[in-house]
């Protein structure tokens, strides 16, 4: 047990170190923008006095490292500063948007994860059959298609030609659960199509690799039914790679929603990020990027921990 705690602690420290490096990159990217940030925000017609006042207000006269530590210290406490566009707290704007993004990602995961695992297991059991070849071909098409392209196809098929779901996912906190699910179905399906294909192929590969193992052949030689071989011997040993793939794709569902939210005008963090870039609202841009990075690192950490707990060889390395 102490060995597992030590391994998890190492992964946690590595994740925090990675997040620190990413925060430096995010802050430094804004610092490296050409020209005067205050001048860019106000425009070329602004007077020197106005620019000087804004520089003082934003703290741009302080050295970069001081402003970085001030920003990082506030971010750790949940204070990302004040929006330049509307003078509201960035955290207040992010909270409902992040909740919407989590809802969309969770809805897509409920569709994608069980479907991908079932299809992956069936494709492995029916290897080289018509089902296996068709599912592989369709998964390649899905993986190769950009999310915005799949989104527009679904809009044409399910919102224009056959008006089953609304094309615009304009949700609000006053909506009931069923209405919210109805409005977010198209963006959730768009994201699920991509991650289902990837998870299905990885699950299929993991099961096929295990079915060729000597202990699986021995179980079959003993006359163990095929279903029991899969459920009692193959699937438990395939948990580590499957957990890894599922966790990484859940991270993608949250951090890769920018294009999908823009296509469906969904009020999430991705849409807020695009709007803030257009308005040059850099405090909001930095906060969105940091949240995306922290979420992705967190799910990578969960994938590592899940793999360690489900694989004795990782818990007791030689």
Q: pLDDT digit string (tens) for 58-76?
A: 777 778 888 888 888 888 8
pLDDT at 51 over 80: no
What is the C-alpha to C-alpha distance for residues 133 and 227, in angstroms, rounded to an integer? Answer: 22
pLDDT at position 96 over 60: yes
Q: Looking at residue 21, what is its pLDDT?
A: 92
- Token pair 């930095």 in the structure block, residue: 286
Instruction: Give the 3-state secondary structure of residue 1.
Output: coil
Considering the four listed CATH numbers 1.10.645.10, 3.40.50.300, 1.10.3720.10, 3.50.30.30, the one that applies to the domain covering 96-315 is 1.10.3720.10
DSSP structure string for 66-108: HHHHHHHHHHHTT---B-TTT--BHHHHHHHHHHHHHHHHHHH
Does residue 123 or residue 223 have the better pLDDT?
123
Number of helical H runs and strand E runs in the chain: 15, 0
Res 311 pLDDT > 70: no
Q: How far is Cα 20 from Cα 35, in angstroms, rounded to an integer?
A: 26
Q: For the segment 253-303, what is each residue's pLDDT rounded down to a tens digit?
A: 887 788 888 889 899 898 888 888 887 788 888 899 999 888 888 888 887
Residues forming CATH 1.10.3720.10 domain(s) in the chain: 96-315
Give the model's pLDDT for residue 309: 72
C-alpha span between 37 and 64 (Å, rounded): 13
With a pLDDT cut of 70, the percent of the chain lying above it is 92
Please give the Cα distance from 95 to 93 (Å, whole number). 6
Strand partners, 89: 82
Give 171-221 pLDDT, tens digit per residue.
888 888 888 899 999 999 998 888 888 888 888 887 888 777 787 778 777
């Amino acid at each position: 047990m102490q060995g597992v705690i030590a391994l998890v602690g190492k992964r946690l420290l590595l994740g925090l170190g990675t997040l620190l490096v990413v925060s430096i990159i995010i802050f430094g990217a804004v610092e490296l923008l050409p020209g005067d940030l205050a001048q860019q925000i106000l425009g070329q017609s602004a007077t020197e006095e106005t620019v000087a006042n804004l520089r003082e207000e934003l703290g741009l006269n302080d050295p970069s490292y001081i402003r970085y530590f001030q920003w990082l210290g506030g971010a750790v406490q949940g204070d990302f500063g004040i929006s330049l566009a509307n003078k509201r707290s960035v955290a207040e704007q992010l909270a409902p948007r992040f909740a919407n993004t989590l809802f969309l990602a969770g809805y897509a995961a409920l569709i994608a994860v069980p479907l991908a695992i079932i299809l992956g297991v069936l494709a492995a059991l029916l290897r080289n059959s018509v089902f296996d070849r068709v599912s592989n071909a369709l998964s390649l098409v899905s993986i190769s298609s950009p999310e915005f392209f799949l989104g527009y196809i679904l809009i044409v098929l399910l919102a224009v030609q056959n008006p089953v779901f609304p094309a615009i996912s304009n949700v609000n906190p006053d909506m009931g659960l069923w209405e919210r699910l109805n409005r977010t179905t198209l963006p959730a399906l768009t994201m699920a199509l991509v991650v289902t294909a990837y998870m299905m192929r990885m699950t299929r590969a993991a099961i096929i690799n295990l079915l060729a193992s000597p202990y699986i052949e021995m179980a079959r030689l003993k006359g163990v039914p095929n279903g029991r071989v899969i459920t009692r011997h193959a699937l438990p040993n395939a948990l580590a790679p499957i957990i890894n793939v599922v966790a990484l794709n859940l991270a993608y569902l949250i951090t890769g929603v920018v294009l999908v939210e823009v296509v469906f005008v969904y009020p999430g963090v991705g849409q807020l990020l695009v709007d803030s870039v257009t308005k040059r609202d850099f405090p909001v841009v930095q906060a969105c990027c940091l949240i995306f990075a922290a979420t992705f690192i967190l799910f990578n950490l969960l994938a590592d921990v899940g793999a360690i707990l489900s694989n004795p060889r990782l818990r007791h390395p030689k």
